[in-house]
Amino acid sequence: MTPKLFPVPRHLAFLGGETSVPKDISYSVGDSELAEIATFFAKEKGLLPTKVRGGFVRFEISTDLSPKDEAYRILIDADGILLQSTTPAGAFRATRTLKTLLTENVTTLPRLEIRDYPAFPNRGFMLDISRCKVPTMKTLFSLIDLLADLKYNELQLYVEHTFAFANHETVWKDASPLTPEEIQTLDKYCRERFIELVPNFNSFGHFERWLRHEQYKHLAECPEGFRREEPFIVRDHGSTLKPNSDSLAFIDSLYDEYLVNFSSRRFNVGMDEPWELGQGWSQPDIQKRGKHAVYLKHLDGIRKLVEKYDREMLFWADILLEKPENAAHVPKSASPVIWGYEAEHPFEKQAKTLADCGLSYYLAPGTATWRSFTGRLTNALANLRSATEAGLSHNASGILLSTWGDCGNHQPWSTFYPALINAAGLAWNETSNPETELVGLLDQFLFPDETETPSEALVELGKLDLALGPKIVNASLPWLLLFADQPEKLPGRLQVDHPADKIQTAQEILSNLRPRLENLVREQGNSGITARELLLGLDLSSNALRKGATILGPESVVSTHSGQDLVERYRGTWLERARPGGLEESANLLRDALAR
């Protein structure tokens, strides 16, 4: 099969005829600033250096292109291949296209011209590495390589406690955290691929991994815990820092150790979902001045810390947008990130609010894979399209596709791949339609050398929710059946929205997909790992749906997998891509859910 040029080039013209590709492909560099990119590409494809401007592949800087920083031109004519760009970054993006054209054993290429540039200047992926699962370095290197081939230029690793801070081992000792040396290695690996590794450290809410320990409780808004009704949360420890100078001083000490490992001049400080703000230490001040005034003051304190380290602050925009008029009070040096993970999220309205204030901002749609064993792909695709359209309408600076690991990170790693590919296509070329070609694109980028792949099963599993009735916000029904915070509400929900016939239909879909995955589980490489992950997700879903059928009445489906068997398989698949830290916590959560 002929590989597809992806992301789809903005302008492609066939010129007629073909050009023969020599067995030994030479290259030359006309401008020294492109030498490193040319050398990198030559190592990938086995190209040989030759004299200036004399190679079959020729690298040049050109000013006769779009003013976009990553603009490039590829011309294939009788003389070979001319690769032109306005910047080194553009040249690297061009090599990703050329990598697809120069497949192994290719003997001829069509004569053509490509002129290309991205829709958004920033095209990022954010990976949660704090909800139990910290990937191995091998897994992260593989992810970065994939991001580079998909023309992403930004990666954020979401950290709450999974960095080895020198004086805070109590917080991370069981988490297999990233070390300073590992981050520096990842940063270099990203730079070589023209990807910016942007530091990401949540600095206000979601601080529960610290505040559960006695030595940090004095920093908590609610040291002894809190209760929240919507969404329903009960904790015996705090999750949000006090919005005061002590917290700022503590955060400053962490920044001092963390930021030095990154070359990026940007920094995502989080600041989302301070659930219990106003229930504890800050209650008198909030009663007097209001929640949003207190929040904005603390946000500005964080901004000043960020700028002290010569960085530009990114922050999650959920609290800011609770009162949209507050956007006018945010300094232009700070960049809000609008997150929203459902198809119907009001990106258009929120983007207009920030654009009207003259702020640089991102839109952050989601992979919709967390709190699910198979992913919620239909929702993710609609969510991505909505974010892209709103961002283009209101001049967003970037798209940050986000994937989370809420409640134990039980979803198979591979379930985020379809959304990752789809987001890459739209963020580069908004006129493309990658959702219609996901199976072929998954084969091309993830399983390029394999005749049988799990791509089709991966996409079909992602659409399982469609068979189960009305969409559930931020979760799939099988996950909810095992992990519901309020299980007493399940019978009513099932009877109204997810009756027995729908559960039976979903079970039949899973049964039909099983043989395809079982044929691949013993394979080596990415196909085998992915098949093992997906088969486990399938069996967890089937087990949960059996529970749903039991709640509704007599069991209609018999599960052949015990809870213990599923947990042991879970442990095995985890360790194929992730470190051992966090595994016991996650596996125990799953074990307890299966035993209910």
Summarize pLDDT for 151-165 with one digit per residue, the tens.
999 999 999 999 999
For residue 108, give both structure tokens. Answer: 């001829």
Q: What is the mean pLDDT of residues 331-343?
A: 97
Quick: pLDDT tens for 304-328. 999 999 999 999 999 999 999 999 9
Distance CA 557, CA 169 (A): 47
Distance CA 457, CA 444 (A): 15
Contacts of residue 32, defined as CB under 8 A and 6 or more positions apart, other chains included, come to none
Distance CA 393, CA 348 (A): 8
Number of helices followed by number of strands (H, E) in the chain: 20, 17
Predicted local distance difference test score (pLDDT) of residue 559: 55
Q: What is the mean pLDDT of residues 94-107?
A: 95
Polymer length of the chain: 596
Distance CA 595, CA 592 (A): 5
Residue 120 has pLDDT above 90, yes or no: yes
Question: pTM (2 decimals)?
Answer: 0.97
Contacts of residue 104, defined as CB under 8 A and 6 or more positions apart, other chains included, come to none
CA distance to 191, 216, 386, 487, 586, per residue, from 491 (Å): 52, 41, 34, 8, 26
Residue 1 has pLDDT above 70, yes or no: no
For residue 36, give both structure tokens. Answer: 């490193």
Predicted local distance difference test score (pLDDT) of residue 127: 99
User: CA triplet 231, 236, 240: central angle to 5 degrees?
Assistant: 65
User: CA triplet 35, 40, 46: central angle to 5 degrees?
Assistant: 110
CB 394 within 8 A of CB 352: yes
Contacts of residue 196, defined as CB under 8 A and 6 or more positions apart, other chains included, come to 153, 154, 155, 190, 264, 266
Closest alpha carbon to 405 in 394, 420, 416, 390: 416
Quick: pLDDT tens for 201-246. 999 999 999 999 999 999 999 999 999 988 889 999 999 999 999 9
Distance CA 141, CA 139 (A): 5
CB 304 within 8 A of CB 333: no
Residue recorded with tokens 């006090």: 242
Strands laid side by side in the 266-268 sheet: 196-198, 154-158, 122-128, 398-403, 362-364, 334-339, 312-316, 266-268
Residue recorded with tokens 């979601």: 206
User: Residue 184: exposed, middle, or buried by beta-carbon count in 10 A (0-12, 13-18, 19+)?
Assistant: middle
CB 343 within 8 A of CB 472: no
Closest alpha carbon to 264 in 312, 315, 198, 314: 198
Distance CA 433, CA 3 (A): 16
For residue 435, give both structure tokens. Answer: 């959702």
Q: At what angle do helices 88-101 and 137-149 cross, to 10 degrees?
A: 90
Residue 248 has pLDDT above 90, yes or no: yes
Predicted local distance difference test score (pLDDT) of residue 230: 83
Closest alpha carbon to 207 in 247, 182, 241, 258: 241
Distance CA 589, CA 583 (A): 10
Quick: pLDDT tens for 355-398. 999 999 999 999 999 999 999 999 999 999 999 999 999 999 99
CB 426 within 8 A of CB 432: yes
Q: What is the mean pLDDT of residues 35-44?
A: 97
The count of other CB atoms within 10 Å of the CB of residue 492 is 9
Quick: pLDDT tens for 283-307. 999 999 999 999 999 999 999 999 9
CATH of domain 11-116: 3.30.379.10
User: Residue 521: exposed, middle, or buried by beta-carbon count in 10 A (0-12, 13-18, 19+)?
Assistant: middle
User: In 159-312, where does DSSP find H-type helix?
Assistant: 169-172, 180-192, 208-211, 245-258, 283-289, 291-308
CB 345 within 8 A of CB 366: no
CB 226 within 8 A of CB 208: no
Q: What is the mean pLDDT of residues 28-57?
A: 94
Q: Where exactly are the structural domains of the chain?
A: 11-116, 122-160+168-177+201-254+271-433, 455-595
Q: What is the mean pLDDT of residues 64-83?
A: 94
Q: At what angle do helices 525-552 and 455-462 cross, to 10 degrees?
A: 30
Q: What is the mean pLDDT of residues 534-545?
A: 97
Q: CATH homologous superfamily of domain 122-160+168-177+201-254+271-433? A: Glycosidases (3.20.20.80)
β-bridge mates for residue 402, sequence order: 126, 366
Closest alpha carbon to 132 in 100, 98, 158: 158
Q: What is the mean pLDDT of the chain?
A: 96
Quick: pLDDT tens for 452-473. 999 999 999 999 999 999 999 9
Quick: pLDDT tens for 552-593. 986 544 455 778 899 999 999 999 999 999 999 999 999 999
- Residue % of the chain over a pLDDT of 70: 98
Predicted local distance difference test score (pLDDT) of residue 2: 65
In the three-class reduction of DSSP (H, G, I as helix; E, B as strand; rest coil), residue 131 is classed as coil
Residue 94 has pLDDT above 60, yes or no: yes
Residue recorded with tokens 């610290």: 210
- Residue % of the chain over a pLDDT of 90: 92
Q: What is the C-alpha end-to-end distance of the chain, expressed in Å? A: 48
